[in-house]
């Protein structure tokens, strides 16, 4: 039997690596800390062991969930912990058993089973939807909402990093100290001149501060959009993470506010919370009704301070009537900028023929494609340059 | 004692209701309960609701019935410490510095001490509210908080939690008797939970028909019995219409006043159509009532009123 402490150290090291891969930032220092903590606390009950590691490895509330799942899978091997407790010398491989744990998030599974090819994945695992693939970076998956691979999250996050860079700023009426401001900041001027006993007056200035405007996203989750919904939600989650004022609404046949759910730091948790609060996944679309509800109940609450509205829909309203035009017009008039993101634009021969689309087009500021990471990047850039290239009227004239 | 003698805070919910009613503010029991608790527990009260349902009025009524001073802070975007809490009187300070120099005073520490004294301090509403007042702690009305930006909201947290303000040059000023704080919001944006958590929350809704009738009769004495019933009945019917902006109580009162100015005794369709602008402020809503809809509503209301008799 080898040195029990060596075994323990090895296992904690593997566990820490798995946690790191699952998205908890851990340095080598934490592994040493964890080992010291386990030695100090002793391996008592399973619960004690859990909380000892938890105390060292988890530094933020949202990591707690990842830790919990990883711990359960990693130390699930029957009797392992018991033996560990008995003699602190278990045999343990870096890749413990089977993936038949549907409730564990795909990210944790990915992290734990990385490099262990012999382990079979579940059948309903990610299938690439090859129909829409135009580049190898574009990954669209089936509508199954619960699970997403670590690779995809990484790509989505990558897209968002660029997004934050190119964002527009609007001036607010709040004044902050500025070296080249327009107004004299008397308070700082006086303070500065007191240094010289009032002999010198060194003028200080103030200017308006800038702020990114709020974003309101209206996301169509009807059947025709279902292949995109999850990716868009990840996108919106990342935006919510990076920006303070983001409101997200989902609509199919009814309107649901999921802003709070998306504020969960962990993407899996956020998406799970979203799906729990929505009742009409992949059903029909009633765009006019949903917009009417939004206009009446929410627009005055969330569209103040120059909000930008991102409307994710294909515009395929089942039976468009005059109400659709009326509601989209009202939405347009109550926000600063209305951007329509339509995945149908992926088809090079797209023409604005459907009646719903024709009704909505005159009332939006921009019409943009959103079907792969490239178009998401373009969207991010476009939001800072006032969308000269996406004038919706060109789509109307092309058909007429 | 003056007429506005300070009264003690009401001792029960019924007393609160009566206190409000004395000032012609007819409140629901739920509102009276929240007000009573706010006064009793010394917590700020946070009132949210549509425009024109009488949120701001509550602060005014409290001020007049309790005989306290009303300090109002109207919020707007860009509101900062300089206009909400305090500001130094820079012009006077500069003059004071020059004068000190002319007199041969060269000790800069001393000049600084003189210049940053209370004499040169301009007190803005929040600071005024923390000052002792002979008639008791004042009422601080922070009106339309949703119009200010988040940065100001965060600052308010400190003031509302400890009722104190720190001025770097002077030190901390703490209220001996915390003011009665009334915050109102039209909900044009969501106020942060951290601020709401410190307050007692109440949603001010539209009143019921009987309550609204009492309000109209109390506030517009010139309006006849029949007209007031019809006015309230019509407004109540409008609120059921799913309009973009339903008329508030303020609009009802305006309309009742307008109609009594026009010497109306009862509603007739033509007059209603002509004066709709007093009630409805969106063209879409007014357009919905064109083409016989007013007459239809009036008839419907008449039958309801007759049935109620």
What burial class does residue B133 get, using C-beta atoms within 10 Å of its C-beta: 0-12 exposed, 13-18 middle, 19+ buried?
middle
How near does any CA of chain B get to the CA of A286, in Å? 19
- Looking at domain A215-399, its CATH superfamily turns out to be von Willebrand factor, type A domain (3.40.50.410)
Portion of chain A with pLDDT greater than 70, in percent: 67
Q: Report the pLDDT value the prediction gives residue A117, as an integer from 0 to 100.
A: 42
**For residue B189, what pLDDT is reported?**
83
Sequence-ordered strand ranges (E) for chain A: 170-177, 183-184, 205-211, 215-220, 246-251, 255-257, 308-312, 337-342, 366-369
Point out the domain boundary residue: B185, B204, B223: B204
Q: What is the mean pLDDT of residues A112-118?
A: 50
User: Among B71, B98, B115, where does a domain finish?
Assistant: B115
Residue A171 has pLDDT above 50, yes or no: yes
The domain that contains B69 carries what CATH number? 3.40.50.300
The reply to whether B166 and B73 lie within a common domain is yes
| B52/B194 same-domain check | yes
Q: Which SS3 state, helix, strand or coil, does residue A78 take?
A: coil
Q: Looking at the structure, do residues B138 and B257 belong to the same domain, yes or no?
A: no
Same domain, B250 and B135: no
In this prediction, residue A4 carries a pLDDT of 54
pLDDT at position A206 over 50:
yes
Quote the pLDDT of residue B129: 94
Q: Is B3 a domain residue?
A: no
- On the question of pLDDT at B57 being above 90, the answer is yes
Look over chain B and give the mean of its residue pLDDT values, rounded to a whole number.
88
Q: What is the mean pLDDT of chain A?
A: 72
To test the contact with chain A by mutation, choose from B149, B154, B168, B246 the residue with the greatest count of A C-beta atoms within 10 A, namely B149
- As given in the structure block, the two tokens for residue B191 are 């106020």
Q: How many CB atoms lie within 10 A of CB A146?
A: 14
Clarify whether residues B59 and B161 are in a common domain.
yes
In a shared domain, residues B103 and B235: no
Last residue of a domain, one of B115, B132, B164: B115
B73, part of any domain:
yes
Q: Do B199 and B251 fall within a single domain? A: no
Q: What is the pLDDT of residue A82?
A: 58
DSSP A309: E
Instruction: List Cβ neighbours of A344 (8 Å cut-off, separation of 6 or more).
Output: A314, A315, A316, A350
Could you tell me if B255 and B180 lie in one domain?
A: no
Most confident of A9-18, B36-45, B177-186: B177-186
Domain match, B238 and B155 both:
no
Window 204-233 of B: residues touching A by CB (8 A cutoff) are none
B195 lies in a domain? yes
Minimal Cβ distance to A174: which of B78, B112, B189: B78
Q: Which residue has the higher pLDDT, A228 or B160?
A: B160
Residue B229 lies in a domain: yes
Instruction: Kindly state the average pLDDT of the residues A1-19.
Output: 74
Judged by phi (left if over 0) then psi (alpha if -120 to 50, else beta), residue B127 lies in alpha
B238 inside 8 A of chain A by CB = no
Alpha helix (H) ranges present in B165-291?
193-197, 209-219, 225-239, 249-261, 269-274, 276-279, 283-288
Calculate how close chain A gets to B71, using CA atoms only, in Å.
23
**How does pLDDT run across B252-290, given as a tens digit for each residue?**
999 999 999 998 888 888 899 999 999 999 888 898 888
The pLDDT value recorded for residue A120 is 40
What is the domain range of residue B224?
Answer: 209-299
Q: What is the largest CA-CA distance in chain A?
A: 83
Is B185 contained in some domain? Answer: yes
| A197 chain-B contacts, CB cut-off 8 A | 101, 106, 108, 111
Stretch among A156-170, A212-226, A270-284, A321-335 having the lowest mean pLDDT: A156-170
Distance from CA of B57 to the nearest CA of A (A): 22
What are the tens digits of pLDDT across the range A270-297?
888 888 878 777 777 788 889 999 998 8
Which segment, A171-175, A221-225, B136-140, B159-163, is predicted with the most confidence on average? B136-140
Q: Are residues B223 and B282 in the same domain?
A: yes
* CA–centroid distance for B154 within its chain: 21
ipTM of the complex model: 0.71
pLDDT mean over A248-256: 88
- B131 and B191: one domain? yes
Q: Is residue B272 part of a domain?
A: yes
Q: Mean pLDDT throughout A252-267?
A: 84
Q: Give the pLDDT band (50/70/90) at residue B66.
A: very high
Residue B164: inside a domain: yes
In terms of domains, do B134 and B257 share one? no
User: Tokens for A124?
Assistant: 């309903």
CB–CB of B106 and A197 under 8 A?
yes
pLDDT tens digits, B89-125: 988 988 888 888 888 877 777 877 888 888 999 999 9
At residue A388, does pLDDT exceed 80? no
Q: With respect to residue B6, please indicate whether it lies within any of the assigned structural domains.
A: no
How many independent structural domains does chain B possess?
A: 3
């Amino acid at each position: 039997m080898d040195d029990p402490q060596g075994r323990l150290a090895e296992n904690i090291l593997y566990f820490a690596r798995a946690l790191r891969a699952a998205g908890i930032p851990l340095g080598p220092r934490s592994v040493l800390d964890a080992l010291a903590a386990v030695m100090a606390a002793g391996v008592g009950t399973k619960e004690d062991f859990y909380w000892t590691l938890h105390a060292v490895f988890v530094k933020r509330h949202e990591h707690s969930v990842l830790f919990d799942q990883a711990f359960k899978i990693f130390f699930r091997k029957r009797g392992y912990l018991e033996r560990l407790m008995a003699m602190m010398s278990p045999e343990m491989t870096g890749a413990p058993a089977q993936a038949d744990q549907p409730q564990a998030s795909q990210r944790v599974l990915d992290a734990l089973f990385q490099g262990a090819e012999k382990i079979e994945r579940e059948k309903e695992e990610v299938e690439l939807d090859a129909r829409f693939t135009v580049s190898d970076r574009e990954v669209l998956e089936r509508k199954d909402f619960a699970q997403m691979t670590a690779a995809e999250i990484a790509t989505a996050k990558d897209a968002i990093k660029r997004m934050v860079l190119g964002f527009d700023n609007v001036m607010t009426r709040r004044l902050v100290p500025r070296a080249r401001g327009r107004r004299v900041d008397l308070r700082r001027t006086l303070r500065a001149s007191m240094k010289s006993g009032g002999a010198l007056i060194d003028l200080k200035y103030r200017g308006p501060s800038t702020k990114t405007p709020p974003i309101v996203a209206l996301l169509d989750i009807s059947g025709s959009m279902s292949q995109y919904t999850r990716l868009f939600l990840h996108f919106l989650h990342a935006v919510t993470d990076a920006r303070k004022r983001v409101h997200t609404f989902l609509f199919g046949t009814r309107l649901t506010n999921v802003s709070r759910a998306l504020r969960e730091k962990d993407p899996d948790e956020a998406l799970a919370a979203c799906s729990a609060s929505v009742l009409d996944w992949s059903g029909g679309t009633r765009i006019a009704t949903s917009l009417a509800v939004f206009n009446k109940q929410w627009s005055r609450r969330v569209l103040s301070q120059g909000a930008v509205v991102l409307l994710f829909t294909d515009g395929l309203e089942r039976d468009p009537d005059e109400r659709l035009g009326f509601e989209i017009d009202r939405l347009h008039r109550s926000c600063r900028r209305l951007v329509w993101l339509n995945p149908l634009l992926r088809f090079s021969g797209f023409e604005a023929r459907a009646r719903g689309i024709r009704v909505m087009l005159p009332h939006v500021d921009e019409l943009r494609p959103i079907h792969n990471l490239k178009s998401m990047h373009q969207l991010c850039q476009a939001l800072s340059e006032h969308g000269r290239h996406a004038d919706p009227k060109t789509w109307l004239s092309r058909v007429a | 004692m003056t007429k506005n003698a300070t009264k003690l805070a009401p001792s029960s919910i019924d007393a609160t209701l009566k206190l409000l009613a004395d000032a012609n503010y007819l409140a629901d029991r739920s509102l009276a309960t929240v007000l009573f608790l706010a006064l009793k527990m010394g917590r700020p009260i946070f009132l949210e609701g549509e425009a024109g349902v009488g949120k701001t009025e509550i602060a005014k009524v409290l001020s007049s019935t309790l005989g306290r001073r009303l300090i109002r802070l109207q919020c707007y975007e860009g509101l900062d410490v300089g206009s909400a809490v305090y500001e130094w009187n820079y012009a006077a300070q500069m003059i004071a510095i020059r004068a000190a120099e002319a007199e041969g005073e060269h000790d800069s520490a001393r000049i600084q001490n003189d210049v940053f004294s209370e004499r040169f301090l301009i007190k803005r509403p929040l600071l005024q509210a923390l000052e002792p007042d002979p008639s008791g702690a004042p009422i601080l009305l922070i009106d339309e908080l949703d119009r200010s930006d988040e940065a100001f909201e965060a600052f308010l947290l400190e003031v509302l939690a400890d009722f104190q303000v720190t001025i770097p040059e002077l030190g901390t000023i703490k209220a001996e008797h915390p003011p009665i704080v009334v915050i109102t919001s039209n909900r044009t944006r969501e106020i942060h939970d951290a601020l709401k958590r410190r307050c007692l929350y109440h949603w001010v809704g539209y009143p019921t028909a009987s309550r609204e009738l009492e309000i109209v009769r109390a506030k517009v004495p010139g309006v006849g019995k029949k007209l007031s019933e019809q006015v309230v009945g019509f407004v109540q019917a409008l609120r059921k219409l799913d309009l973009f902006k339903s008329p508030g109580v303020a609009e009802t009162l305006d309309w009742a006043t307008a109609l009594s100015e026009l010497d109306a005794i009862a509603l007739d369709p033509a007059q209603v159509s002509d004066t709709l602008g007093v009630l409805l402020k969106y063209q879409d809503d007014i357009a919905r009532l064109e083409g016989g809809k007013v007459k239809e509503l009036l008839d419907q209301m008449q039958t309801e009123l007759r049935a109620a008799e």
